[in-house]
Amino acid sequence: MTERKGITVFYDERVLKHFPDVNSAFLPGRLDKRIRTILSGLNVQWKYPEHPGRIEAILNLLEQEPIAGLAFAPGQAATREQLARVHTMSFLDDIFSLRDESAWLDVDTTAVSPGSVEAAEVAAGTAIAAVEAVMAGQTESAFAVVRPPGHHAEPARARGFCLFNNVAVAAAHAQAALGCERVMILDWDVHHGNGTQDIFWADPDVMFIDLHRAAPFYPGTGSLPEVGAGRGEGTTVNVPLPGGAGDVAYFKAMQEIVVPAADFFKPDLILVSAGFDAHWFDLAMNVSYEGFAAMTSVLQAVARKHCHGRLVCVLEGGYNTESLARGVHSVLEVLAGGSVPEPRVCGIEEVEAAVEYHRGAFIDDNPV
């Protein structure tokens, strides 16, 4: 088999049409009243953090600092049948009934605006497009730059900024339509991917591994004993971490959990719920750009060992636009064949420079 090369970014501008504005008129109801009460009690004005500027920041940085060999491809909208592999029909009917409306879906800040339902269909469909291209050998790896994110969306519930579970829709499509027998999903978003875990809880053919900040951090799930059930017992793997964990902890989890798990499971395809809110700018964890690059490099090696390098990243969270854009860039650089920078403890380089700078200051030139 010829070696498949390259990394392709999948993007469709319709994902920008999801734009909930908390000041616009939402469908009136009990949930709206409850959220208004919460918002009015805050002492800072709250803005919807999952906004189109996140994607614009990623694209702007790729334009300012292009990556050699990076290809771009368009996305597509997921069909109802594709979404129904992981969501209930009644949930889909409910979401589709909100087309062109503004409404709250959940108290933990999931809202829709006119355009949101289409954006969500396109987010899931673009993840599918990325998987199809990788499975067809058109590109070795792919990155679906999409929103709204997906990993908190459950079979019958939108929550945590997520409407449809994009990575789950993509995994289910790979199994149902593309001949994949075993799919591995690694979720490194700082929040636990409760929705993805739910969807594949009893599925022995999807291995779900999640590195996240431990409860009570949102959404509060993802403890060690949550390992799946029935025939899927053992194919859910949670790695809860304390707040402030950084590159060394994440890299150890990759080496000592993800690598042996993949050797055991032998996936046909690896998907990544790629959130960037574990970067220290988002204030929950201490992962650096080099840390994201190092994790990508491990995954790429695992994918090359087991499944011809087939690796698809699907964007999840990351709310500081600078670290989100730079984080995505560092992952793409590795997938494009760039060198992998070595993670360092933040500040050590600067202290070393300061030691050098001040070296002469404490030497007495005129000893008595």
- Per CB under 5 A, residues contacting Zn ion are 189, 191, 275, 277, 317
C-alpha triplet 40, 213, 238: angle, nearest 5°: 130
**How many angstroms separate the CA atoms of 334 and 296, rounded?**
7
- Catalytically active residues are 152
| CB closer to Zn ion, 139 vs 166 | 166
- DSSP, collapsed to helix, strand or coil, labels residue 9 as strand
Give min distance, CB of 317 to Zn ion, in A: 3
Give min distance, CB of 23 to Zn ion, in A: 24
| CB closer to Zn ion, 161 vs 201 | 161
Give min distance, CB of 275 to Zn ion, in A: 4
Nearest position to Zn ion, beta carbon:
317
Give min distance, CB of 212 to Zn ion, in A: 8
Give min distance, CB of 277 to Zn ion, in A: 4
**How many angstroms separate the CA atoms of 113 and 117, rounded?**
8
| CB closer to Zn ion, 91 vs 188 | 188
Distances (CA, A) of 4 to 90, 139, 143, 343: 41, 6, 16, 28
| CB closer to Zn ion, 142 vs 274 | 274
Q: At what angle do helices 321-335 and 289-307 cross, to 10 degrees?
A: 40
**How many angstroms separate the CA atoms of 80 and 77, rounded?**
9
Q: Are 312 and 271 in contact (CB under 8 A)?
A: yes
| CB closer to Zn ion, 279 vs 306 | 279
Residues 6+ apart with CB under 8 A from 299: 186, 254, 258, 270, 272, 311
